[in-house]
Amino acid sequence: MNVTATDADDTMDTNNGILGYSITNQDPPLPTPTMFTIDQASGLISVVTAGLDRELYPVYTLTVKAADQEGEGFETFAKAVITVTDANDNAPVFDPIQYSAKVPENAVGFEVALLTVTDDDTPNTDAWTAVFKIVKGNEGNLFGITTTPDNMGQLTTVKGLDFETKRQHILLVAATNKAAFSVPLVTSTATITVDVEDLNEAPIFVPPVKNVTVREDLPSGQEVASYTAQDPDKAQIQKITYRIANDPAGWLSVNPDNGIITGNGQLDRESVFVKNNIYRAIILAVDNGSPPTTGTGTLQITLEDVNDNGPYLEYRDAVYCLKSADPVSINIIDRDLPPFTAPYRAELSREARDNWTISIENDSKFPHIDRFLVFVCACAGFSWLVEHSGFIT
């Protein structure tokens, strides 16, 4: 700060107009009464002693004297008000430094605790705003901490805690400021003890989707699969009961005590409930906890084909009118898979053999479809086949 006074006297030939400055009083006189000095000739006020502390003495009022004849003549006085600006010379301090909390397992985003700090620096500045960091005990990054608008540390769960894995977590949290410390300071810490509360969790099927393969002619009562679940609540002794939630064709039964699944002898690969040879059923595992919880598993049964379907004509009855003896093509259909399909044998009924012939050929455009070819005879320029009949094997 620079103070200036004026004097109407001559400063060229006499010292009547030459001014001298001095500090005659400092309020408050702390921590020493000579915290400031003033240049006698220029009026520049400077700090000469360490110890300015805004938190203790935010404002100083100096009484400054200006006198002519280089400080020895007529004099006048003025007040110089000096405001001490803040520096980040105070660390945030936890109060209290010990916290305890209970958290239900698997809860994500759960508020564990609100941590309180005090800071003597100017509120709502970077020197006052706290920054919190978990420095110990956060293995797996299960917890997170942020600063609230009122400068508190909000500790929450980022991931679900597992009672069976770890029942208690002890966290050490440190607090600094958004602004760097202007002097070396001790960082304040707080300890938070978190106890995990055990909750009844649903049984878990292992694997969640089970694949098995059986023949479609599996006899009634035969085992399709053993499909069981595990209870994650190791500290609780619970019984698991098995049920079928979805069995579209009604082919399956499950033993409620051991999860063994059996068939009723009606499994059919060609059923509309089977897609790409796979039949799906949903199995439930229900524990007797409080409250009971339910786990879900999917059983995928791949059905192996057997020769349980005979070939048949695409059209059982047909009427044809032809002007020539060109063959008529009729599809043979077999719902089974190779090797339970072609080659086929075809023959006509005895009464049709006098006027008709029959043979089997493979259509090169559709190699997976066999054609039932009926050769007809000419009769008055027309050939007729009415309600043909034959045998396919």
Mean residue pLDDT across the chain: 82
Average pLDDT over residues 58-85: 84
> What's the pLDDT band for 354 if we cut at 50, 70, 90?
low
Average pLDDT over residues 19-27: 89
Model confidence at 337: pLDDT above 70: no
The yes-or-no verdict on residue 26 having pLDDT over 70 is yes
**How far does CA 355 lie from the centroid of its chain?**
76
| Both tokens assigned to 143 | 């917890």
Q: How far apart are CA 191 and CA 97, in angstroms?
A: 6
How many other CB atoms are found less than 10 A from the CB of residue 138? 17
Q: Is the pLDDT of residue 348 over 80?
A: no
According to the model, what pLDDT value does residue 213 have? 94
High-pLDDT (> 70) share of the chain, %: 76
Residue 381 pLDDT greater than 70, yes or no? no
Which of 3-7, 56-60, 183-187, 360-364 comes out lowest in average pLDDT?
A: 360-364
Instruction: Indicate the pLDDT class of residue 172, thresholds 50, 70 and 90.
Output: very high
CB 216 within 8 A of CB 305: yes
CATH topology of domain 20-83: Immunoglobulin-like (2.60.40)
Is the pLDDT at 281 greater than 50? The verdict is yes
The topology under which CATH files domain 307-392 is Immunoglobulin-like (2.60.40)
Q: What is residue 1's predicted lDDT score, i.e. its pLDDT?
A: 82
CA distance 19 to 79: 17
CATH superfamily membership of 204-304: Cadherins (2.60.40.60)
What is residue 233's predicted lDDT score, i.e. its pLDDT? Answer: 78
Strand-by-strand arrangement of the 98-104 sheet: 98-104, 188-197, 168-177, 130-136
Mean pLDDT of 135-153: 96
For the cut 90, the answer to whether the pLDDT of residue 136 exceeds it is yes
Q: How high is the pLDDT of residue 316?
A: 55
Q: What is the pLDDT of residue 344?
A: 63
* CATH code, 93-197: 2.60.40.60
When pLDDT is cut at 50, 70 and 90, the band that residue 50 belongs to is confident
* C-alpha to C-alpha distance for 86 and 93, rounded to whole angstroms: 18
The pLDDT value recorded for residue 386 is: 34
Nearest C-alpha neighbor of 79 from the set 67, 66, 61: 61
Residues 304-330: what's their mean pLDDT? Answer: 63
Are β-strands 130-136 and 168-177 bridged in parallel, bridged antiparallel, or unpaired? Answer: antiparallel
| pLDDT tens by residue, 80-122 | 998 887 778 889 999 999 999 999 999 999 999 999 999 988 8
Residue 341 confidence (pLDDT) above 90: no
Indicate where the chain has its CATH 2.60.40.60 domain(s).
Answer: 20-83, 93-197, 204-304
pLDDT tops 60 at residue 160:
yes
pLDDT surpasses 90 at 393: no
CA distance 380 to 325: 12
How large a percentage of the chain has pLDDT more than 90? Answer: 46
pLDDT band for position 129 (cuts 50, 70, 90): very high
pLDDT in tens, 192-211: 999 999 888 899 999 999 99
Question: Residue 285 pLDDT more than 80?
Answer: yes
Between 49 and 330, name the one with better pLDDT: 49
Residue 8, pLDDT > 80, answer no
Please report the pLDDT score of residue 388 as a whole number.
Answer: 36
Of 29-43, 86-100, 102-116, 372-386, the range with the highest mean pLDDT is: 102-116
Secondary structure class of 87 (helix, strand, coil): coil
Q: Which of 84, 366, 349 is nearest to 358 (CA)?
A: 349
pLDDT at 237 over 90: no
